[in-house]
Structure 1
Amino acid sequence: MTEAPLRTLERAARTPLAARLLPHTLLWQTFLLVALLLIVALGAWSQIFRYVQEPARARDVAQMVVSVVNLTRTALINADIDRRVDLLIDMAALEGIRIYPAEQSDELEPLPDTRPHRLLVNDVRRQLGEHTRFATRWKTLNGFWVSFRLDPEDANDEYWVMLPPERIENPDSFGWLGWGGGALLAALLGAFLIVSRVSAPLRQLARAARQLGSGVTPPPQEESGPQEIAVVARAFNQMTSDLARMDADRALILAGVSHDLRTPLARLRLGIEMSGAPDDDVAAMVTDIEEMDRIIGQFLDFGRGTPQEAFALLDLVTLCREVSDPYRLRGVDIRLSTPDHLVVAVRALSLRRALANLIDNALRYAGDECPLDIVVSVSDDEACIEVADRGPGIPETEVERMRQPFTRLEKARSNTKGAGLGLAIVERIMASHHGRLELLPRTGGGLRAILCLPAGASDGGRDRINQSDLGFGHEP
C-alpha cells in the first residue's frame, strides 16, 4: 500500500466515530439541524398541549363521573326495593353501568399514578367526598370503578359503580400525534427544499472550480438566487475571466521570451564555435549554452500550464522508438522492451515531452555509463511506459516533494544542473491525461519512473487501447 492511502487510513482511525458518522455536506448538515429543531419544537408543543389540555379533560370526566354516581344513588334511593334488581339490570344493559355492593374484603387494583388520573381523583373527591375510592379492577372485572354511599354517614351502605373504560379514556388521546407527524414531515420537506436551493449553486460552483483547476474554462455561472449566492457566482465569473486574460497574456509573454532569449544564445554558440578557441573550451562553453537552452525550455514548458492539445490515437511503441533514437545516435545505451503494438488515445506532443524529460532526468543523474531501460506494458487496464536508470534514486520520504516545481534532491544527486522542473512538468502532463506518475525504487539501485495512462474506453476520445499482440519482444 502506498504512503498516501496509509496516511488516509491513519487519519480515519484518529477521527472520532461520531465525526465520521455525521454528514459532511452543507445540505445534510443544515437539514439535520433543522430536523432536530423541528422535532424538539414539536416535542415542546406536545408537552405544552398536554399540560394545558389535561386539566380541562379531567374536569369534564370528573363532572360526568359525579353525575353518573349522583343519578345512580338517586335511582337506588327512590326505587322500590323489589324493583332495584330490575333497575340494576337495565342500567347495565342500556348504559353499561354496573353496580355492586362494596365489602371490606374486596380485591382492588388502584388507578395508575399519572397526572390525568390524579387530577380526576381530586375533582371527584372534592364533589363526592374524601371517602370515595377508585380502582381499575374489582375482583376479576376491569373498568373504571368508583365507590359511593347511599348515606354519606353510613360506611356500611357502600356500593361500587363501574363505568365503561371508553368513557374515561380519551379515544383520540394520540390522534394529535398523527397531525403533528404530518406537520413535521411537511416542515422537513420544506426545509429540504430550502436547503437544496442554497446548496445546489454551491455544488455547481464546486464543479466549476474543479474544472478550472484542471485547466478547463468552465461556463459562466448563473448569477441568480439568494443575494449571497449571486455575489459568490459573480465573483467566480470575474475570477474566471481574469484567469483567462492572464493565460492569454502569459502565452504572449512566453512567445516573446522564447524568441528574445534563444536567438542570442544561438548567436553566442555560433560565435564560440567560430572563435578558434581550444576544442575543450569550446565544448565546455557549448555544453553550458545547451544547458541554458534546456532550462529555458523547461521554464517555457512549465509556464504553458495544462496542455490544450487534443487527444489522438498513438502507438506508444512507435513513440518510444522515435524519442529514444536521437539519444542512441549520441551514443546513449537505451534498451527497449515493448509489445509489437500498443495504441492509446493520448496528447502526442505532451506525452513525447514527458518521456523526453524522464530520459533527460535519468541521464543527468545516472550518467550514460549504465544503460537505460524503457519498458512498455499493460497492467490493470493501464498502459505504462517505464524509464529505469541506475542512478542514486529518490528516498521514499522525498518522492512527494520531488513532484513539486523547483525542487531538487541535492544530497542524493550531487553535481547536477537544471531548474528542478522536469518531474513537475511530467506530473502536470500526466494529470492532463487522467493518469499518474509513479517514482519507485529499482531493485539493485536506481529509479523507476513510470507513466501510467488509462487504457479503457471513455468519452471524448480520452483513452482506449487496441492491442494486436501482448507478447513482449526485446530490442537490444
Structure 2
Amino acid sequence: MNLFPRSLATRAFLLIALLILLSLIASTILFRQAERTPRAMQLAQMVTSVVNLTRAAVLSADPTLRSALLDEMAESDGIRVFLADPHEQLVPFALHYGVNQKMATDIRIQLGPNTRFASARNGEEGFWVSFFIGDQEFWIMMPAERIERPKPWQWLGWSVLVMFFALIGGALIARQVGKPLKKLASAAYAVGHGETPTPLEESGAAETIAVVRAFNQMSSDLAAIEQERALVLAGISHDLRTPLTRLRIAAEFIDDEASREGMISDVEQMDAVVGQFLEYARLGEQEPIAEIDLQELVSTVAAPYMKRGKSLLITLAEFPPVKARPQLLKRALTNLLDNAIKYGGDEISLESFNADWHGRPCAFFVIQDRGPGIPVEDIEKAKRPFVRLESARSGVGGSGLGLAIVERAARIQGGELRLESREGGGLKATFIIPIVS
C-alpha cells in the first residue's frame, strides 16, 4: 500500500513544507552553534567579574562590617557568599551542555582549576561557584536566571508564524502547479473518449501556457481530422450506394440461378459494409437526447432475434427513466448481439443491471457467448475501426466496424465498452452508460 499522495499539488505542498521545516531546523542549529561560543565567553566573564569583585570586597572590607556588606549584596544583587562546609550537600551543575561546558572551562582558566560548580547547595537552588581566599574556600551563589537561557516561547511563536505564512505560500504555489495540470488531464481524458473539449484557458507560467496552447491546438487538429475523415467516409459510402443498386438490379436478370444468387449475396454484403461505413461516420451526430425506458428499449432490440429462433437468454433489471440517445443505444446493442450470434454459437445471454461506475450510477448491459473469444492481447485492437482479427476472418464477412461502432457509441454517451474472456470459454462484452435522469 502506497501511502504517498498521488496528487501532484499535494506532493508539491508536502515537499515545500518539508523543505521549509528542514530549513528552519538547520537555521536554528546554525544559530545556536554560532552564538554558543560568544555566549559562553560572556557568561564566563560575568561570573569571573562577580567572583573577583566579591573577593575584593570581602578582603578590603573591615572585618566588623563584612556581615553587613554581604547582606547588602544579597539584597541588592541577589549575590550571597557562604563559607564552604565539608558536610554540605551539593547538586552538580550540568556541564555536558555545550555552553555550560565552555563557560566552566573559561572560568577555571581565570579562577583556578579547583573551582567547583553546583546547581544547589544544602537544598538551596541557584548558580554556585567556589573561590578561594588563601586556603579557605567560599561559595558564591548567583540567581540561576543570570546563567540559564530564557525560555524560547516568544521565539517559537515567531517561528510558528513564519512557518504558517510560508506554508500558505507553498499551498498557493502547489495550487498554481496542480490546477492547470488537473484541467489538462480532464481535457485529455475527454479527447481520449472521442469528445472535443472546450479550449483550455491559456494562463499561468510561460511553460504552462505553452503546454496548454499545444494541447488546444492538438485537440482542434484532431477534431478537424475526425470531421474530415467522417465526411470523406460518408461521401465515398454514399457514392457507392448507386452503383451497388444498379448491380443489384442487373443481377436479377442473370439466367443462371447459382450465379444470380451468388452475385446478389455479394452485392448485399457490400451494401451492408457500406451501410456500416455510413453508420460509423454519422454515429450519433444528429440524434438528440431523449428520455427513454431502458427495459423497453432492450426488449425491442432483442425481439427480432427471439422471433428468428435464436437461443437468447434475457435477464433485464428495472431502470428509472433515463436520458440517452435511443437510436445510438439500439445500434450498439444490436451490433453486440450480431457479433455474439456470428461468432458465439447458440448459448447467448443478455443481462442488464444497475451499478456504480467511477462514483456515479450506471446501466450495465452484459452480452455473453460461447464462441472462440478474443485473446487478451487483442482485446483493445478489436475495438479499433477496420480491424478484423484472424479468428473473425474465417467464413464470416464484415467491415471490422461492429465493435468500433459500439466503442464509439459508449464514449459518446460518457460510458465504456469492456471485452473480456468468459469463464468456461467465450466472450463477455459489457456496455456501460451513465444513468442521467
The question of whether the paired residues in 1 share the 8 Å contact of 2:379 and 2:419 is answered with no
* Alignment of structure 1 residues 170-209 onto 2, 5 Å: 170-172=149-151, 175-209=154-188
The question of whether the paired residues in 1 share the 8 Å contact of 2:313 and 2:350 is answered with yes
Aligned residues: 431
Query: For residue 256 of structure 1, what is the amino acid of its counterpart?
Result: G
RMSD, matched Cα: 3.4
Could you tell me which residue of structure 1 aligns to residue 337 of structure 2? 359
> Does 1:53 find its partner at 2:35?
yes
Which of 315, 318, 337 is 2:293 aligned to?
A: 315
Could you tell me which residue of structure 1 aligns to residue 101 of structure 2? 118
Q: Percent identity?
A: 42
| Gap change, CA 1:355 and 1:226, over 3 Å in 2 | same
Could you tell me which residue of structure 2 aligns to residue 10 of structure 1? none
The question of whether the paired residues in 1 share the 8 Å contact of 2:291 and 2:324 is answered with yes
Could you tell me which residue of structure 2 aligns to residue 84 of structure 1? 66
> Does 1:431 find its partner at 2:411?
yes
> Does 1:291 find its partner at 2:291?
no
Query: For residue 65 of structure 1, what is the amino acid of its counterpart?
Result: V
Query: For residue 43 of structure 2, what is the amino acid of its counterpart?
Result: V
CA distance in 2, matches of 1:434, 1:299: 22
Could you tell me which residue of structure 2 aligns to residue 416 of structure 1? 396
The question of whether the paired residues in 1 share the 8 Å contact of 2:233 and 2:277 is answered with no
Alignment deviations for residues 40-86 of structure 1 (CA, whole Å, 9 cap, x no partner): 32223222222222222222222221222123222322334344334
Shift of 1:136: 1.9
* Alignment of structure 1 residues 220-231 onto 2, 5 Å: 220-231=199-210
The question of whether the paired residues in 2 share the 8 Å contact of 1:378 and 1:384 is answered with yes
CA distance in 2, matches of 1:158, 1:411: 107
CA distance in 1, matches of 2:144, 2:57: 22
The question of whether the paired residues in 2 share the 8 Å contact of 1:97 and 1:161 is answered with yes
* Alignment of structure 1 residues 300-379 onto 2, 5 Å: 300-304=278-282, 309-324=287-302, 343-366=321-344, 370=346
| Gap change, CA 1:232 and 1:339, over 3 Å in 2 | closer
The question of whether the paired residues in 2 share the 8 Å contact of 1:388 and 1:449 is answered with yes
Which of 124, 132, 154 is 1:149 aligned to?
A: 132
The question of whether the paired residues in 2 share the 8 Å contact of 1:394 and 1:447 is answered with yes
The question of whether the paired residues in 2 share the 8 Å contact of 1:399 and 1:439 is answered with no
The question of whether the paired residues in 2 share the 8 Å contact of 1:273 and 1:282 is answered with yes
Shift of 1:253: 0.9
| Gap change, CA 1:44 and 1:322, over 3 Å in 2 | closer
Shift of 1:387: 4.5
Query: For residue 50 of structure 2, what is the amino acid of its counterpart?
Result: V
CA distance in 2, matches of 1:111, 1:443: 76
| Gap change, CA 1:161 and 1:419, over 3 Å in 2 | same
Query: For residue 276 of structure 2, what is the amino acid of its counterpart?
Result: Q
Shift of 1:116: 0.6
| Gap change, CA 1:256 and 1:202, over 3 Å in 2 | same
| Gap change, CA 1:373 and 1:284, over 3 Å in 2 | farther
Shift of 1:164: 0.8
Could you tell me which residue of structure 2 aligns to residue 11 of structure 1? none
Alignment deviations for residues 241-295 of structure 1 (CA, whole Å, 9 cap, x no partner): 22232233223212211212222222222211222221x3333332222222333
Shift of 1:430: 2.4
CA distance in 2, matches of 1:434, 1:331: 34
Shift of 1:399: 8.1
* TM-score of the two chains, using structure 2 as the length reference: 0.84
Could you tell me which residue of structure 2 aligns to residue 460 of structure 1? none
Shift of 1:28: 2.7
CA distance in 1, matches of 2:61, 2:35: 39
* Alignment of structure 1 residues 204-243 onto 2, 5 Å: 204-243=183-222
